[in-house]
């Protein structure tokens, strides 16, 4: 895939090709290069030019793409227009290659990453994907693997043995949700490590790797079957990790689309930036998370380059950031979980999230600007307020707003079954959100 086009077939393909953050970034880099972005480092920002798009990779799973308009009219000094989203979603992470024995079965050792709805993971075909670091002939390398080619399962207890299973399921991840690897009679205790080494040999083209050559890994168990359309008119999108790959996709398809239409060469002084971060589902406090120094240092460097005669915070105060993280639709079967005065409907446009306790960063002033922008561009949107007895989820919006000193709106495509292994959105909401971001960057 060399382009993120905003259409639904391209989106489905993107979802199927990106089971882990590492694969997401691989697709983003490829699409940004195809759109004409030059890969640079933070040190090279000081020599960047207006009218040319750039991309700054950071670590193993963060990036920033940006461009500045050709010129800044004297009456309009220009500002920063920023979109930001995260790439991770709840999965089972594999702790190590040790296998646990019991009743003739070998099981994998896992932990839950992020806050997941756990019980739908049982009795599903799972696959392994991720990054493996290895050392051969003194050289340290890595391989990204989208599918080990094997299927695994976490079987449930029969209803005959647990008659209360439908009264509310609660599980011990440490002891009860370990995926079956194989039979003791068929596999040895080192079978997992041997499988990893063999697959890395195959993918890397370096033959003869053994478990001793594997230095470390970041491997996840994810749902094996891919994304799909469903509903009588194929109006729904059903997939794992729509939160937040749906926002990543629409954000960067909009950014790339604006470049295709020549936005970087337009005669205005605004600087457009698109961030992708990892680790939102576990708090963002990592070197590639939204709380890292990357965001503030990158924005400072870019503001200093294109607005050299102004203080950084003066530029930020007139700028705007859209924090893009999936939003909650009102569930027709469980309406009591939502605020009855602000129902959110699937297919009726992106959600503008508000709460006065600032777990979402939206305040009245940027809210008005966003509403005006949507009105001018004929983009549907809905206003969301959480149920007052249920605190909503968090986003990267407040942390970026605080660290950058910038006005922020939290927005998201409406979704049902968030953090379940299969989440449900709509085709129309993804299409109109891609249109929103293209207009924002154009």
Dihedral over Cα of 28, 297, 115, 217: its sign: positive
Among candidates 82, 71, 107, which has minimal Cα distance to 306?
71
Name which of 13-22, 260-269, 391-400 the model is least confident about. 260-269
Average pLDDT for residues 188-209, to the nearest whole number?
Answer: 95
End-to-end Cα separation, the chain, in angstroms: 23
Beta-carbon-side half-sphere exposure of residue 171 (alpha carbons within 13 Å): 21
Look at residue 55 in the predicted model and tell me its pLDDT: 98
Residues 22-45 pLDDT 10s: 999 999 999 999 999 999 999 999
Proportion of the chain above pLDDT 90, given as a percent: 86
Look at residue 70 in the predicted model and tell me its pLDDT: 83
Q: Edge to edge, what strands does the sheet with 105-113 contain?
A: 139-145, 126-136, 214-223, 91-102, 105-113, 180-183
Average pLDDT for residues 124-153, to the nearest whole number?
Answer: 97
**Run of H or E including 314:** helix 312-317
Q: Which CATH number fits domain 91-223: 3.40.50.12780, 1.10.287.180, 2.60.40.10, 2.30.250.10?
A: 2.30.250.10
Look at residue 73 in the predicted model and tell me its pLDDT: 56
Contact 230, 238 (CB under 8 A): yes
Dihedral over Cα of 3, 6, 12, 16: its sign: positive
Contact 154, 177 (CB under 8 A): yes
Say whether 91-223 and 8-89+240-441 share the same fold: no
Q: Edge to edge, what strands does the sheet with 62-68 contain?
A: 38-39, 54-58, 62-68, 271-277, 80-86, 320-324, 407-412, 350-353, 381-384
What are 130's strand-pairing partners?
Answer: 145, 219
Domain range annotation of the chain: 8-89+240-441, 91-223
Look at residue 72 in the predicted model and tell me its pLDDT: 61
> Rounded to whole angstroms, how far apart are CA atoms 416 and 117?
12
Instruction: Return the CATH number of the domain spanning residue range 8-89+240-441.
Output: 3.40.630.10
Residue 347, pLDDT > 60, answer yes
pTM for this model (two decimals): 0.96
């Amino acid at each position: 895939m060399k382009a993120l086009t905003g259409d639904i077939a391209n989106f489905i393909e993107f979802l199927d090709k990106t089971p882990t953050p590492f694969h997401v970034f691989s697709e983003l880099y490829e699409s940004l290069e195809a759109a004409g972005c030059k890969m640079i480092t933070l040190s090279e920002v000081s020599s960047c030019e207006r009218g040319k798009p750039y991309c700054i990779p950071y670590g193993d799973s963060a990036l920033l793409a940006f461009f500045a308009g050709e010129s800044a009219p004297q009456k309009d000094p220009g500002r920063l227009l920023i979109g930001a989203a995260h790439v991770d979603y709840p999965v089972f992470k594999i702790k190590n290659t040790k296998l646990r024995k019991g009743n003739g079965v070998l099981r994998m050792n896992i932990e839950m990453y992020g806050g997941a709805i756990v019980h739908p993971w049982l009795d599903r075909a799972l696959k392994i994907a991720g990054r493996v670091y290895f050392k051969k002939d003194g050289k340290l390398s890595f391989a990204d693997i989208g599918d080990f080619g094997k299927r695994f399962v976490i079987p449930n207890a029969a209803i005959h043995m647990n008659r209360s299973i439908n009264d509310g399921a609660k599980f011990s991840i440490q002891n009860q949700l370990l995926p079956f690897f194989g039979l003791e009679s068929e596999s040895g205790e080192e079978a997992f490590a041997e499988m990893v080494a063999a697959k890395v040999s195959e993918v890397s083209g370096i033959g003869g790797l053994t478990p001793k050559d594997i230095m470390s890994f970041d491997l996840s168990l994810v749902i094996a079957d891919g994304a799909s359309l469903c509903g009588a008119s194929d109006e729904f999108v059903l997939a794992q990790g729509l939160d937040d790959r749906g926002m990543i996709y629409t954000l960067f398809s909009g950014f790339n689309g604006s470049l295709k239409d020549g936005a970087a060469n337009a005669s205005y002084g605004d600087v457009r930036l698109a961030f992708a971060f990892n680790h939102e589902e576990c708090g963002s406090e990592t070197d590639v998370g939204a709380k890292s120094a990357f965001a503030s240092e990158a924005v400072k460097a870019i503001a200093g380059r294109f607005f050299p005669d102004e203080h950084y915070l003066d530029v930020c105060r007139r700028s705007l950031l859209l924090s893009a993280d999936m939003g909650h639709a009102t569930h027709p079967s469980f309406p009591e979980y939502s605020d009855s005065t602000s129902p959110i409907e699937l297919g009726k446009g992106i959600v503008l999230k508000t709460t006065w306790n600032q777990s979402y960063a939206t305040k009245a002033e940027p809210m008005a600007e966003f509403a005006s922008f949507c009105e001018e561009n004929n983009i549907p949107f809905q206003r969301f307020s959480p149920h007052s007895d249920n605190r909503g989820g968090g986003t990267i919006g407040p942390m970026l707003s605080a660290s950058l000193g910038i006005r922020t709106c939290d927005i998201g495509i409406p979704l049902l079954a968030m953090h379940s292994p299969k989440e449900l959105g709509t085709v129309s909401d993804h299409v109109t959100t891609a249109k929103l971001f293209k207009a924002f960057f154009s």
